[in-house]
């Protein structure tokens, strides 16, 4: 990938933050942070959850105004009063949480963000052109509601590129991508920097930062810590800079006897509804108390439908197709399934797992209202709710400013820790988690995995849907692969390999011996 630029030939900074400071109440989210992005470089912005990366980016594009400090663009001071102005000046941002309308097509969504009234056919042609030029796979006339998170992200990138940005800021672009999708994004990034554009790349995946980025700025606790050449660092030395201490690794599976099946999926068929999620065909799966089963697969192959069928959000006709802790649950809704002590953590934390404009404590209620402890005889026990909220925050180290902010105020990784903690503290016998560590820093990711391992050791059955193969290989016991709505038989991790899983992801039945016996 990209070579180091000799020091005597450094290109000028395109966009520069000089001593930016931002306070939210008592919390100093950015404390005199400086960062310069040069033409032709990919610059990483690193830091643990809540370190202040998104706050810095928001100030660099006019979404937030700094309390002090200034921005320089082409070496001259500039103020971006809002994102429209920064966009018009050539600063494009793709955020972690997308701003797309499900009911509209790709081209309609893109049109909404543009000034003027370009005919949709012309715009679709421009999208096709951009897609072709930068190797992105996006179909202009597909409805966004049908797209996987990875595809939605490409729509956001295309939308940005159509504005012909000189600086492109990507906020955790690979956290929802498969290895292949990430590789193709890296090629796109290289093409962009090759054209003299600058890319600011926020990521918790330190290996990819080392491969892709020319320089890295590290933040910790809202402060600038270091600017380093990631190629001369190791993933652990970078993690040490971010965290200020060694990062623990997830303990491998401890051998313990497995108990009763907690989840049985038997001949589960779900029709595609033409909108989000594909059909499921004849899914079989058994997860016993004490084990973690992982589901790998390229996004959009039925994982979302499977999650929704398991959580009760999508109706399943056959009552016996899903059995939770010996109870036929196919026809039960989400609350009734939670009453069976099942916990569910969906992929989209903001909007699905948590209501953005509700306070965190009220968000606790979303999945605990049927548990009896917090709501009794239809009356909310506020003290019990607050006690649970505080326990989640303490045990899962959820960091935020203020006492009880709205969910949308949390950094991405901290919100993820919150929604995982909310389910884990319900003491479930079955927990289904879609993308458990999306956007979570290395230390917090290790903590989440270790917690899920502990739950399994205590007798919980855990199902993890993840696009991160390394994660699945690191902490699950068996792995199945989802492809075109079909699930391979889960195979013990020791008996499979990245290659076999990769093949199965492409549709070959290579990760397991057959497709049925679980």
Instruction: Note the residues at the interface with ligand ATP (CB under 6 A).
Output: 24, 27, 29, 47, 49-55, 399-401, 405, 409-414, 439
Q: Of 27 and 327, which CB lies nearer to ligand ATP in the complex structure?
A: 27
Q: Of 305 and 435, which CB lies nearer to ligand ATP in the complex structure?
A: 435
Residue 435: C-alpha distances to residues 204, 297, 334, 348 (Å) = 14, 12, 19, 9
Q: Of 49 and 253, which CB lies nearer to ligand ATP in the complex structure?
A: 49
CB of 224 to ligand ATP, least distance (A): 13
CB of 136 to ligand ATP, least distance (A): 24
CB of 110 to ligand ATP, least distance (A): 25
CB of 185 to ligand ATP, least distance (A): 18
Question: Residues 152, 142: contact at Cβ < 8 Å?
Answer: no
Q: Please name the residue that has the structure tokens 């103020």.
A: 79
- The residues near 316 (Cβ < 8 Å, ≥ 6 apart) are 268, 270, 309, 322, 330, 331
Q: Of 294 and 439, which CB lies nearer to ligand ATP in the complex structure?
A: 439
Q: Is 516 left (phi over 0), alpha (psi -120 to 50) or beta?
A: alpha
CB of 348 to ligand ATP, least distance (A): 15
Residue 170: C-alpha distances to residues 82, 174, 256 (Å) = 18, 9, 42
Which phi and psi angles does 11 have, rounded to 5°?
-70, 160
Q: Of 159 and 349, which CB lies nearer to ligand ATP in the complex structure?
A: 349
Report how far apart the first and last C-alpha atoms of the chain are (Å, whole number): 42
* Strand ranges inside 81-213, DSSP E: 91-94, 167-171, 198-202
How far apart CA 155 and CA 27 sit, in angstroms, is: 34
- Beta pairing class for 461-465 and 478-483: unpaired
- Beta pairing class for 91-94 and 167-171: parallel
Q: Of 138 and 410, which CB lies nearer to ligand ATP in the complex structure?
A: 410
Q: Of 50 and 294, which CB lies nearer to ligand ATP in the complex structure?
A: 50
CB of 54 to ligand ATP, least distance (A): 3
CB of 24 to ligand ATP, least distance (A): 3
Q: In this structure, is the dihedral angle defined by the CA atoms of residues 182, 186, 189 and 195, taken in order, positive or negative?
A: negative
Crossing angle of helices 360-368 and 412-424, rounded to 10° = 40
CB of 362 to ligand ATP, least distance (A): 17
Question: Within 13 Å and on the Cβ side, how many CA atoms surround 40?
Answer: 11
CB of 160 to ligand ATP, least distance (A): 19
CB of 282 to ligand ATP, least distance (A): 39
CB of 349 to ligand ATP, least distance (A): 11
The pair of structure tokens assigned to 210 is: 């080392």
Q: Of 157 and 410, which CB lies nearer to ligand ATP in the complex structure?
A: 410
121 CB neighbour count, 10 Å cutoff: 10
Please classify residue 382 by burial: count the beta carbons closer than 10 Å to its beta carbon, then call 0-12 exposed, 13-18 middle and 19+ buried.
Answer: exposed
Q: Of 152 and 288, which CB lies nearer to ligand ATP in the complex structure?
A: 152
Q: Of 93 and 410, which CB lies nearer to ligand ATP in the complex structure?
A: 410
Q: Of 25 and 507, which CB lies nearer to ligand ATP in the complex structure?
A: 25
Residue 419: C-alpha distances to residues 3, 178, 343, 476 (Å) = 40, 23, 10, 20
- The residues near 470 (Cβ < 8 Å, ≥ 6 apart) are none
């Amino acid at each position: 990938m990209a070579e180091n630029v000799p020091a005597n030939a450094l290109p000028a900074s395109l966009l520069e933050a000089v001593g930016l400071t931002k306070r939210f109440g008592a919390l100093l989210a950015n404390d005199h942070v400086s960062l310069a992005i040069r033409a032709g470089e990919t610059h990483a912005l690193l830091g643990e959850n809540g370190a202040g990366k998104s706050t810095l980016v928001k100030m660099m594009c006019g979404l937030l105004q700094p309390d002090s400090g200034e921005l320089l663009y082409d070496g001259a001071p500039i103020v971006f009063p809002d994102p429209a102005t920064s966009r018009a000046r050539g600063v494009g941002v793709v955020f972690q949480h997308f701003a797309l309308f499900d009911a509209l097509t790709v081209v309609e969504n893109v049109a909404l963000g543009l000034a003027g009234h370009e005919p949709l056919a012309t715009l679709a042609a421009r999208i096709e052109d951009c897609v072709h030029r930068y190797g992105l796979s996006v179909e202009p006339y597909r409805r966004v509601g049908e797209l996987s998170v990875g595809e939605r992200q490409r729509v956001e990138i295309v939308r940005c590129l159509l504005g012909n940005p000189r600086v492109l800021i990507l906020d955790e672009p690979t956290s929802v991508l498969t290895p292949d999708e990430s590789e193709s994004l890296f090629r796109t990034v290289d093409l962009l920097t090759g054209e003299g554009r600058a890319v600011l790349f926020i990521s918790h995946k330190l290996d990819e930062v080392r491969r892709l980025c020319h320089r890295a700025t590290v933040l910790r606790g809202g402060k600038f810590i270091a600017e380093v050449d990631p190629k001369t660092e190791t993933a652990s030395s970078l993690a040490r800079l971010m965290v200020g201490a060694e990062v623990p690794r997830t303990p491998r599976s401890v051998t313990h006897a497995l108990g009763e099946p907690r989840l049985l999926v038997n001949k589960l068929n779900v029709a595609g509804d033409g909108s989000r999620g594909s059909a499921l065909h004849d899914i079989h799966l058994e997860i016993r108390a004490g084990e973690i089963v992982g589901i790998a697969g390229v996004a959009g192959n039925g994982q979302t439908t499977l999650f929704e069928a398991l959580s009760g959000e999508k109706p399943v006709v056959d009552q016996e197709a899903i059995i939770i802790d010996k109870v036929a649950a196919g026809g039960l809704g989400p609350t009734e399934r939670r009453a069976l002590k099942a916990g569910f953590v969906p992929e989209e934390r903001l909007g699905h797992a948590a209501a953005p404009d509700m306070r965190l404590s009220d968000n606790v209620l979303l999945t605990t209202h049927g548990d009896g402890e917090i709501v009794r005889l239809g009356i909310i026990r506020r003290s019990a709710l607050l006690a649970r909220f505080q326990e989640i925050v303490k045990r899962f180290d959820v960091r935020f400013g203020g006492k009880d902010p709205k969910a949308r105020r949390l950094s991405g990784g901290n919100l993820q820790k919150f929604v995982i903690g909310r389910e884990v503290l319900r003491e479930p016998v079955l927990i289904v988690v879609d993308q458990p560590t999306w956007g979570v820093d290395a230390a917090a990711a290790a903590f989440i995995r270790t917690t899920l391992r502990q739950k399994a050791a205590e007798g919980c059955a855990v199902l993890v849907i993840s696009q991160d193969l390394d994660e699945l290989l690191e902490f699950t016991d068996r792995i199945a692969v989802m492809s075109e709505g079909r699930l391979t038989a889960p195979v013990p991790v020791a008996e499979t390999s990245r290659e076999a899983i990769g093949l199965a992801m492409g549709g070959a039945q290579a990760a397991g011996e057959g497709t049925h016996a679980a």
